Amino acid sequence: MPQEASSHSYEKLALEQRDNGVCIVTLNRPSKRNALDAATIEELIRFFSGARGNGVKAVVLAGAGDHFCAGLDLVEHWKEDRSPDDFMHVCLRWHEAFNKMEYGGVPIIAALQGAVVGGGLELASAAHVRVMDQTTYFALPEGQRGIFTGGGATIRVSDMIGKYRMIDMILTGRVYQGQEAVDLGLAQYITEGSSFDKAVELADKVAQNLPLTNYAICSAISHLNNMSGMDAAYAEAVVAGVVNTQPAARERLEAFANKTAARVRPNS
Ligand code: 1HE
């Protein structure tokens, strides 16, 4: 593993770089339910800033212990008695981390268990694929805590489930779990067993795609969604021009033409 990605230089995250390019990134404060303190956010920024350059092909984002993430470190926030200016800058660092994730071009599969709440849901929503299990539950407790979201829930959670469902969650503290959460779009997969095992299976699969193709999927789609329809169509053509003519794709196209590539079949 290159120096920058070396797990020794991280205290809040545990990193495991696997031979196939998949990196397991684990929030590692289980005694605090992986609450996001400022130091954890800085480590997320550092890791995701360097991931592509360090050859990471896909990430499984997990939380140690029974809960994925309890959101903002409320105790740190309370102890520091932050000013509006301070907290605005805290939020800007969260956005830096989560934008690096969503727009960074490296596929991120979140393995969710237990609480995925407040900022924990904001973190999960910056991943590209979310896998939940039978213990996973989603909530935005900010309304009850006397605070507001600051890590992008108004954008990404609204995007996933619609503005009014997001408003209901934060206003009333409503909790979603089980198949209903998948049906609403909070996760794409629900497992009977471990969400982690399924997330690794998916990461192993997507790590076999060409990196430039994954870059387009995990960066361009989000950028294109921020544009007007006309501009998005133009930019999509430019991206496809680059990606669909990459030399590495020729081998795969040739295999299709020669009938040696797998065909797309319905699930059996
Ligand atoms: C924490 C945090 C935290 C736990 N900040 N320390 N998020 C919330 O409102 C969720 C707050 N947490 C909870 O509701 C519960 O802790 C859980 C449901 C996640 C887990 O319950 P449980 O019974 O397993 O654990 P616990 O006994 O509540 O907590 C264990 C320890 O973790 C305890 O510390 P200890 O030193 O007393 O052992 C807790 O204080 C600590 N802990 N959650 C700090 N969040 C950019 S704006 C984003 C806005 C938000 O994210 S608001 C949502 C905040």
Using left for φ > 0, alpha for ψ between -120 and 50, and beta otherwise, residue 111 falls in beta
Give me the residues paired with residue 138 across strands: 116, 176
pLDDT of 6 reads 61
Look at 2-16, 150-164, 191-205 and tell me which has the smallest mean pLDDT: 2-16
**206 contact partners, CB below 8 Å, separation of at least 6:** 57, 58, 107, 109, 214
pLDDT of 186 reads 98
The answer, yes or no, to whether ipTM is higher than 0.85 is yes
In short, whether 115's Cβ falls inside 6 Å of ligand 1 is: yes
Average pLDDT value for the chain: 96
Q: Residue 151 in contact with residue 95, Cβ under 8 Å?
A: yes
Clarify whether 122 is annotated catalytic. Answer: yes
* pLDDT tens-digit map of 221-268: 999 999 999 999 999 999 999 999 999 999 999 999 999 999 999 998
**Which structural domains are found in the chain, ordered by start?**
3-206 (3.90.226.10), 227-257 (no CATH)
* pLDDT tens-digit map of 16-41: 999 999 999 999 999 999 999 999 99
**What is the residue whose two structure tokens read 């669909």?**
244
Clarify whether 251 is annotated catalytic. Answer: no
Catalytic, out of 122, 180, 201, 236: 122
d(CA 84, CA 103): 27
Catalytic, out of 43, 142, 201, 236: 142
- CA nearest 121: which of 75, 171, 169, 76? 169
**What is the residue whose two structure tokens read 């924990």?**
120
In short, whether 71's Cβ falls inside 6 Å of ligand 1 is: yes
Confidence of residue 7 (pLDDT cuts 50, 70, 90): low
Backbone φ, ψ for residue 220 (5° rounding): -65, -40
| pLDDT over 80 (residue 2) | no
Q: Residue 139 in contact with residue 81, Cβ under 8 Å?
A: no
In short, whether 77's Cβ falls inside 6 Å of ligand 1 is: no
Q: What is the mean pLDDT of residues 97-123?
A: 98
- List alpha helices for the chain, DSSP H: 38-50, 74-80, 84-103, 119-125, 142-145, 153-161, 163-172, 178-184, 195-206, 211-215, 221-225, 229-243, 247-257
pLDDT of 67 reads 98
